[in-house]
Amino acid sequence: MIETLFFGGELLLLALSTTAHDSRFAGWWQCILVFAIVLLNAIADKDSAEGNIVEKFISALGKAFVLRFSIVASLLFHELAHLVAAASMKNELSQSLLSTRNFLGNVDVLSWVIALVPFFPWPASACNPFVELVREPSKDSYRFIRLAGPIASISLAAFAAISAILGPNSSTANLFALGSWMVAGGALASDVFSHNIVDTKFYCGNFGMMVICALDRLGVQVPDILREMAGTTAARGGQAGGLVTLLPDGSGHRTRYVPFKRADVADGLIDRFFTGLYFSKMSAALFSSSTAHCRMFLGHTRFATSSKPSTNESHPHRFSYPRKVRMWRAGANGWSSSVERYELYVTHNGDFDYWPLFGRMRTQGEIGLWLKKILGATHEIAGCDSVKVAGVMELLRTQGVWEYSFRLAYQLVTTPSFEETIAGKNGQIAGPIRAAAAIADHVFGDFVKSSELSEPEHVRALATKLVEALYGARAQLELQIFSLQPVLERLVLKAIANFLEGDLYNALVRFLGDAEGSFGITACCSLDQSLMCIASRGQAMCVSFCPEAGAILWGSESATQLVPVITSKAPERRQTSDVEQPRAKDSVLRCTHRHDLDENGGEIIEVAIYPGDQNGRLRMEAAARASARLCADLGGEDRITARFQPFTATESLYLRVFRKVDGGMVPRDNFLKSDSLISLESDLVDPPPPRRGLKVDRVEADLRDIPRVLELVRADWKSENGRNRRTAAEFYRLLQEQLQERAQEQDQGNGGRLEVDVLVTGVEASLWIGEQFASDLQTLFPSLRVLPISSNKIIGVLSNHRGSAPMAGFAFSSLTLSLKKAIVVSISHSGQTFPTLHATHALRKVCGNRLFVLTGAIDSKMASAVGQSCYPGAPWIGRVWYTFSGWRPSEALTVSTVSCHQTLSELLLFLAKKASRADDLFRLRTGFKLTASDVSDFARLNESIITEGAPSLVGYNSAGEPLAESQAPKLRAQGRRWALHILETPWAWILSTMYIFGTIIGGSPLFSAIRRRGWIDSIEPSGQDALTYICLILDSILYSFLPLFFSIILRIIQGRPLTARLGKRTIVIGDVPYVNQLIESYVSKMFAESYSIASVECHGANAVDHLVHRFTHRVVRGLLIAVGRPDGRLFSLTKAESWVLMSLQQCKSIVHLLSPPEIITVGHNPYHNTKVIDSHIALERRRPKFFCEVRTLVMNTPHHHISQLIFQFDHTSYF
């Protein structure tokens, strides 16, 4: 048993360390194999004597070594197969391809040796060996090279297994076969089943926080805050997540997590991170006694964009493995050096496209290959673009490290050939650079003992000494550049500039200034444990401050920074900064101010903590400034900006801000302006998002909230000073001016048919509602040209040359439409939907100030795009409508779509009221036909929907209280009935399982049991009579069709159709386009995480238009059809209702096995034909009675048929 435990533990260690290529595939089956082997060994050793424990242990060590040797040998054989396949495809048969590193799988020899040590964790560098190809192969060649590895591994494993079976009984042969099969399984996982994911555009998000330890007197709840922030950010994409922090010993603790489909990325990430952090802190405390000035956490959630969702592709990214470097720092007593750990982490949201290299723009893929050579990375890097951002930052972050300063300077001064560098033909430069750095360390140490570095003259003197020392050692340095004194002087000046100026902030400034793409970046480095940097260009980023708790929060979503920092009782807030206002006591403490980075021009912020004596910081800043001034004198660029303290109470907090539109440094006064540092107590800022900790159904909570939100919308539109109403007045004014200008042009003969009056844009749900609004606006004003267009199409057209080239399949372009005078309405609930936001920016350049936006809240990127500020007292510019729904994390859209529709309905009603009071000329120009009485009817119906209709449908009033009487129970009852169809399969499966277990364990199948009990006397002793065989056949048939049998029983008990198809049901929504599209989206998202046995397919169609053509040929037994039915008692809807009923009758006429589709309708007309409609939900009346209702017995009861109408017509009283 002792040997079993030792050997089983070794197998478990190997499984958890992941010896094959990809832990996502290989780890699970290896763990199962471990437990199986341990169990079998335990059973085998059960009756054996214990023997000598030492002998057992030595035997276990021997077995563990043999197993590890077989794994290492199999891995190297696997990579050799890749290498041979690449060489056979003539992939640069050169020294670079057939190199020692490639033969070793690009893993150093020491790592392979450590991998052979029994009971020792498998080295991380040996987890993913790989072959580096010099030239990118073709698609077919790549497939051949990729499959060569698993073919070789399976062949080796098969040979080892056959040898073990046919040869003499040997534990060594058995173990070698086991190890080779473990590698073969990993090879299949990584090279066969792990397919490349197609590049699709989804979005990611950054989040993070910093807590100043000296100010954290109240106990900032870091795990809870990060959990809330991760959950909110995951709305942008939650296929993977990651989090990193820097420990006091200089090491980084990073957790990257790829959840399963139904797992929550926020909960899984935070739980794993803080569990691992506990042990990392214990380990760090053994080797370091230093304390941190702050706690810093950089996080990221992603949706696969440029690579598959895997652990290696997840943020935060680190390009190179941790290394030890000599770091120089300036302190209170001067300069000193120490050997420290170098790790640099980056989170990135956006796309890294190009970066200039030696006078030419290089793709991020080319940059990655070049960085591997320059930075000496021997491991396989991730395929995504973000890891290249980390690599460039690692190259540029050189401050205080002579080796990295000379490395960068060498590339900038000598500009070696890119192709030769990639091919490895530039020779080994790492050794000479390292030797030059050692000389520089010695010279610099002597220099700073007797001289300062505060003036350009000091820097020039240092350069002179370095040139002399390096030139004198040129024979040992073995690089030609050290023998050419003029070039050497340039090299030294560049190296000094890198050494003094190349901190994390300036590295990010240099990168963002040259890179092409869109970037939302956060970065930290182990050499700068008390600072981090945030950058934005083309991606939203913001940072918030809570000075009282010493907390700084940042992220891509502004809603992430409204989470409570402290939820316990907080003391009364004191005056903590020059821009804060005192506030009363509060049990919840949140950030008080937020700064939105300029994503258009680009902005970078450094957040740093410098407690106590500032002499060291000032000395390093003076040296950097002196170097920058010298570079400027020599024709270079001065990138140095000064730090400032934003809050007087947080003396240790310093910021540096670089904003491109301001030409560089942003001074403190400009940063603290109210339109830059926004007070989060402003009434224009979103309310806090709902807490994740509350165990509530988000969709149900949103449905309950509909009456309250609609009441807020109604109150704002009824108020003369309501913001939405004021924006509508501006819209109406521009509409009047446009009509007048167009009339004048037509009088002069200049009117054009290409002019668009109103353009409505958005994507998905916003576009669907916008299309209906455009249709209604066109109906209200027939003379206008109102056009709804997807934001994606607008971007596709306006991004090309003058918008003259239309997108394929669409006619929209500057040749077919003119937007120069159009009034634009951009719709986005979140306020930062990427296509709509980018289309808004593009349209603003074309349409100027005639751009309006509709969002869920004022504090949004869309509102900012049209010039609306959110600081206290900010003027209302009249270009924003908002729906009061705010941040809604639920994917299934409910309150956000209802409030958006209601806001647009209020806008239409406002325009109708204005037009009904306008002069005849305006009515003539717009084609407006409604009277004041018509508009009054619309207003009354609109009012009744908010006060009575919506509460009755959801079952709650605007105060969130349940209603005693409403239509919600009737709607839910119908939903539960259809839910029985969906749950039929799992119930049948459960009942079948129970029957199988019961009959097999009890030994009594149904018919056999009846046979034994009913005709026991007729059973022959041999048990081979005909009746017994008949019962066995019946039992076999019953077992074969158990799900069908139990499904029929369930249908009989529940009163549902008996002959409907088994399996997944399909729902068809029939209504006007925007309704069927919204409901289809809602249903599909509600069932997005359901299992296949309890799921449903959902489709939408227009019942008036194409329901018959799209779905009658797809009608099957058990099809579920839900239709919104027009009220045909209104003359304008009579034909529409007739068409809907005819479509349903056509669907109902398709019958097989006496099972037509099941149809329900929803509408105000109580009449329904029970032969066609299985269930009709008659909505309550919110209007005066129709004439037919007054003059007949039929009022609003659904069970009367049309044949029962008895007119009671009194001619004398009527006429």
Tell me the C-alpha distance between 1084 and 419, whole Å: 50
pLDDT, residue 83, reads 79
pLDDT, residue 1046, reads 92
Question: Do 938 and 912 contact (CB within 8 A), yes or no?
Answer: yes
pLDDT, residue 896, reads 92
Query: Which sign, positive or negative, has the C-alpha torsion 956, 959, 964, 965?
Result: negative
Q: For residue 421, what are its two tokens?
A: 């560098």
Distances from the Cα of 813 to the Cα of 377, 775, 840, 849, 852, angstroms: 48, 21, 16, 21, 21
Distances from the Cα of 305 to the Cα of 204, 328, 386, angstroms: 8, 39, 10
- To the nearest whole percent, how much of the chain has pLDDT over 90? 27
Q: For residue 452, what are its two tokens?
A: 């300062």
pLDDT, residue 706, reads 92
Which phi and psi (to 5°) does residue 760 adopt?
-115, 130
162-166, 789-793, 799-803, 901-905 — most confident range:
901-905
Q: Answer whether residue 694 shows pLDDT above 90.
A: no
Rounded to an integer, the average pLDDT of 702-710 is 92
Question: Do 296 and 528 contact (CB within 8 A), yes or no?
Answer: no
* Beta pairing partners, 818: 755
Grade residue 48 by pLDDT with cuts at 50, 70 and 90: very low
Question: Do 442 and 465 contact (CB within 8 A), yes or no?
Answer: no
Residue 574: CA count within 13 A, CB half-sphere? 8
Secondary structure (DSSP) of 72-139? HHHHHHHHHHHHHHHHHTTS--STTTT-HHHHTTT--HHHHHHHTSTTSPPPGGGSS-----SSPPPH
190-204, 686-700, 990-1004, 1005-1019 — most confident range:
990-1004
Q: Answer whether residue 75 shows pLDDT above 80.
A: yes
Q: What is the DSSP letter of 543?
A: E
Tell me the C-alpha distance between 895 and 343, whole Å: 46
Rounded to an integer, the average pLDDT of 948-964 is 91
Tell me the C-alpha distance between 383 and 373, whole Å: 16
What is the DSSP pairing of strand 593-596 with strand 677-679?
antiparallel
Tell me the C-alpha distance between 809 and 796, whole Å: 12
Q: Answer whether residue 1209 shows pLDDT above 50.
A: no
Q: Answer whether residue 1202 shows pLDDT above 60.
A: no
Task: List CB contacts of 617: < 8 A, sequence separation 6 or more.
Answer: 330, 610, 643, 654
- What pLDDT, in 10s, does the model give residues 1071-1096? 999 999 999 999 998 998 888 888 99
Identify the CA nearest to 512 among candidates 601, 641, 594: 601
Task: List CB contacts of 1207: < 8 A, sequence separation 6 or more.
Answer: 1191, 1192
pLDDT, residue 524, reads 93
Element holding 1124 (H helix, E strand): strand 1120-1124
Query: Which of 384 and 60 is assigned the larger pLDDT?
Result: 384
pLDDT, residue 480, reads 78
Q: For residue 1078, what are its two tokens?
A: 């919204």
Rounded to an integer, the average pLDDT of 1096-1117 is 89
Tell me the C-alpha distance between 503 and 627, whole Å: 13
pLDDT, residue 605, reads 94
Per-residue exposure over 307-316, b if at least 16 CB sit within 10 Å of its own CB, e if not:
bbbbbbbbbb
Query: Which of 961 and 48 is assigned the larger pLDDT?
Result: 961
pLDDT, residue 118, reads 77
Q: Answer whether residue 582 shows pLDDT above 50.
A: no
pTM comes to 0.77
pLDDT, residue 428, reads 75
pLDDT, residue 817, reads 81
Q: Answer whether residue 91 shows pLDDT above 50.
A: no
Tell me the C-alpha distance between 1081 and 769, whole Å: 13
Query: Three-class SS of residue 823?
Result: strand
Grade residue 1191 by pLDDT with cuts at 50, 70 and 90: low
Chain-centroid distance of CA 433 in Å reads 41
pLDDT, residue 1023, reads 55
Question: Do 416 and 433 contact (CB within 8 A), yes or no?
Answer: no
Grade residue 1212 by pLDDT with cuts at 50, 70 and 90: very low
- What pLDDT, in 10s, does the model give residues 456-509? 888 899 989 998 888 888 878 877 788 788 888 889 999 999 999 899 999 999
pLDDT, residue 90, reads 54
Tell me the C-alpha distance between 870 and 684, whole Å: 5
Question: Do 772 and 782 contact (CB within 8 A), yes or no?
Answer: no
- To the nearest whole percent, how much of the chain has pLDDT over 70? 81
Judged on CB neighbours under 10 Å (0-12, 13-18, 19+), 703 is buried
Q: Answer whether residue 24 shows pLDDT above 60.
A: no
Q: For residue 205, what are its two tokens?
A: 């998000």
Query: Which of 11 and 482 is assigned the larger pLDDT?
Result: 482
Grade residue 580 by pLDDT with cuts at 50, 70 and 90: very low
* Beta pairing partners, 334: 331
Tell me the C-alpha distance between 700 and 888, whole Å: 12
Distances from the Cα of 799 to the Cα of 201, 536, 1089, angstroms: 17, 21, 37
pLDDT, residue 84, reads 83
Which phi and psi (to 5°) does residue 354 adopt?
-140, 155
Grade residue 766 by pLDDT with cuts at 50, 70 and 90: very high
Tell me the C-alpha distance between 414 and 408, whole Å: 10
Distances from the Cα of 55 to the Cα of 6, 61, 66, angstroms: 12, 10, 17
Helices 265-287 and 222-233 cross at an angle (nearest 10°) of 140
Tell me the C-alpha distance between 445 and 335, whole Å: 8
Rounded to an integer, the average pLDDT of 1124-1149 is 88
Q: For residue 322, what are its two tokens?
A: 């941790």
Q: Answer whether residue 709 shows pLDDT above 70.
A: yes
Q: Which amino acid belongs to residue 301?
A: T
Q: Mean pLDDT for the chain?
A: 81
Rounded to an integer, the average pLDDT of 76-99 is 67
Query: Which of 166 and 489 is assigned the larger pLDDT?
Result: 489
Comparing 189-198, 683-692, 817-826, 1068-1077, which segment has the lowest mean pLDDT? 189-198
pLDDT, residue 172, reads 81
Rounded to an integer, the average pLDDT of 506-534 is 91
pLDDT, residue 20, reads 37
What is the chain's alpha carbon radius of gyration, rounded to the nearest angstrom?
Answer: 37
Q: Answer whether residue 57 shows pLDDT above 70.
A: no
Tell me the C-alpha distance between 310 and 298, whole Å: 19
Per-residue exposure over 43-54, b if at least 16 CB sit within 10 Å of its own CB, e if not:
eebeeeeeeeee
Q: Which amino acid belongs to residue 609?
A: I
Task: List CB contacts of 187: < 8 A, sequence separation 6 or more.
Answer: 20, 21, 78, 149, 150, 153, 154
Q: Answer whether residue 1062 shows pLDDT above 90.
A: no
What is the DSSP pairing of strand 758-762 with strand 823-827?
parallel
Secondary structure (DSSP) of 279-347? HHHHHHHHH-----SEEEEEEEEE--SSS-S-TTTSSSB-SS--EEEEEEEEETTEEEEEEEEE-EEEE
What is the DSSP pairing of strand 677-679 with strand 664-665?
unpaired
Tell me the C-alpha distance between 1180 and 1182, whole Å: 6
pLDDT, residue 8, reads 55
- What pLDDT, in 10s, does the model give residues 427-444? 678 888 889 999 999 999
Q: Answer whether residue 1017 shows pLDDT above 70.
A: no
- What pLDDT, in 10s, does the model give residues 831-853? 888 889 889 988 888 888 899 99
Q: Answer whether residue 321 shows pLDDT above 80.
A: yes
Tell me the C-alpha distance between 462 and 149, whole Å: 54
